[in-house]
Structures are given as C-alpha cells and as structure tokens.
Amino acid sequence: MGTQVLASAELHVAAAYLLFVALVGVYLAIIRLRFTRATNQAEVLTRLVREDDER
Amino acid sequence: MHAKGLRGLAATTLGAGALATGLIFFYAPTDADQGFVQKIFYLHVPMAIVALCGFVAAAVMAVMHVRSGDRLWDVRSYVAIHLSIILGVGVLATGSIWAKASWGHWWVWDEPTLVSFLIVFLLYCTYQPLRFSIEDPDRQARYASVFAITAGMFVPLNFIAVRMAEAYTHPRVLSTTGGHMPGEMRLTFIVALIAMALLFTTLWRLELAAKGAAARLRHLRRQVEPTPGAGRRFGPAQAPPVAAVPARSSPR
C-alpha cells in the first residue's frame, strides 16, 4: 500500500515536470524554426538586393 | 537588436534551472503532510506567479505603446501575453496533476483560486483572436493595447478578490505567515521562482529576436516586390524565393 502511494506520487511529479519540459521544448522548437527560416530568407534577399544594386 | 546578450541570459537561465532542480530533489525536505507530491509546488506556483506578472507587465508595455505610439512596445506586450498564456497552460495542467494526486479530483469548481485563474486564462485566450481579426496594423496595435491594459488591471483585482474569499482548500503559499515554509523549502522556492522569471525573460527576448528577423524579412520583401507602375526589380530568372512566405501586417 505504502509503495503504491509512493509510486503514484512519483508518477504525478514526473508527469508534471515532463509536461513542463515538453511545453518549453515545443515552444523553443517552433521559435527556432521560425527564426532560422526568417534568417535564411533574409540572407537570400539581402544578397539579391545587393546584386541588383551593383548591377 | 534583441539578440544582444541573449546567449549569456540563456546560460544564466540554464544554470538557475539546474540549481533549482537540484535543490527541489536533493535539498528541500519532503513535506510531512503531502509527501513527495508537494514537489510539484516548486514548479506550479512559480509558473503561476510569473504568468500573472507577465500579464501585468504586458499591460505596462501596452501603456507605453499608447503613450509613445512606438509599435515596438506593442510587440513587446504581445509577446509577454503570448508567453504568459503558454505558462498558463502549464499552470492549469500541473495544478490538475497535483489536485488529482492530493485531492483525488482533477478539478474542483468551488475553489476560488482555481476558477479565478481559469477566468484570467480564458480572458487572455480571447486576446489573439481579437488582435488578428483587425487587419489595419495601427488599429490592431491600438485595440490590442487597450485590451492588454484593461485585462492587466483585472489581474491584481482578481488576486485580491480571491485572497478575500472566506473558505478555500487550495494551499496559501505567499501569506502573511509565509505559508509556514521551513528555511530549506523557502530557499528552494525562491530559487525556483528566480529560475522561472529568468526563463520567461529569455523566451521573451528570443521571441522578440525572431520577430525582429521576420520584420527585417518583410522590409526586404517590400524592397524586392514590384511597385505599381515601376515594374519588377528582378527579372523572372532572379525572382527571390519568398513566394512561400506569407506577407503579414501583424507581428505574428
């Protein structure tokens, strides 16, 4: 009985902390994806604008 | 602009997070009444405090926007609300897990603390649909700021109202008696709160940096897109690969 209660408590604590890590992880992955995409596209556009100005 | 010092801040946040985790699981004593489940408290309460402070901070930034007319303040306010909503999801989820373990129920409807937080959370959930239902960028920023200020004033009022409520089963952490926390628990809680505040600041600055990059991209798009009567800036063979990027007037 005591072991079951302990296991249940550990499970709940683990679930709460994992949920938090997952929440932050997903958020970071989305922001990183957006950031990388925007930076890459901005670099391409900057290069094209520079080439066009030189011409 | 916003990325300056972000690396150092992220490293500090990581260090504070590691320290808080160490203190939670290896230093703070197990609660005599609740047992191991009480460890959720070090995550749940700082998240709730930081989320509510984030809403209030967003209101202050919205005031700055209304006063100065600087759109950057509106973007800052928007990001603070966005992050606080995400933390709000975490608060509700971890609170439910704790309630199930401690009370045997996922949710208790007659508990003022739970219901009031849910009301605040749902109120802020209407912010984004309201914001993005307005196309004109200036009107969008103005209306969003008015919403942020009004809702931001509601947060402390709500907090006081809950404190004045007569009966509650939800534990009081920050009360006049200090929540009866022993020294080790109090120290752990403070470190966890600082780590959570640092995490919020880091993510806020990261999202602002991402928005800065997106704004730069929009500016470049305007430079390369054909203007009426002026023809294309680039020939068809040199068309920049930006067709996949949707043009937005909002700081989404």
**Per-residue pLDDT for B11 more than 70?**
yes
Mean pLDDT throughout B237-248? 42
Predicted pLDDT at B238: 45
Q: Per-residue pLDDT for B229 more than 80?
A: no
Cα B64 from Cα B71, distance rounded (Å): 10
* Partner residues linked to B187 by β-bridges: none
Q: Which residue of chain B has the CA closest to A35? A: B210
**What percent of chain B has pLDDT above 70?**
82
Residues of A with CB under 8 A from a CB of B: 5-6, 8-10, 12-13, 15-17, 19-20, 23-24, 27-28, 31, 34-35, 38-39, 41-42, 44-46, 48-49, 51-52
Chain B nearest CA to A17, separation (Å): 7
**DSSP H or E segment with residue A19:** helix A2-54
pLDDT for B173 beyond 70: no
Structure-token pair, residue B156? 């402390």
- Whether B36 sits inside 8 A of A19 (CB atoms) is no
* Phi, psi values for residue B70, rounded to 5°: -80, 120
Q: What is the pLDDT of residue B168?
A: 57
The answer to whether B64 touches B148, Cβ cutoff 8 Å, is no
Tens digits of residue pLDDT in B102-158: 888 899 888 888 888 999 999 999 999 999 999 898 999 999 999 999 999 989 888
Structure ipTM: 0.77
For B178, phi then psi, to 5°, come to: 75, 20
Query: How many pairs of residues across A and B have Cβ atoms under 8 Å apart?
Result: 94
Other residues' Cβ atoms within 10 Å of the Cβ of residue B70: 12
Number of H helices, E strands in chain B: 7, 0
Distance of alpha carbon B82 from the chain centroid: 5
The reported pLDDT for the residue numbered B55 is 96
* Mean pLDDT score across all residues of chain B: 84
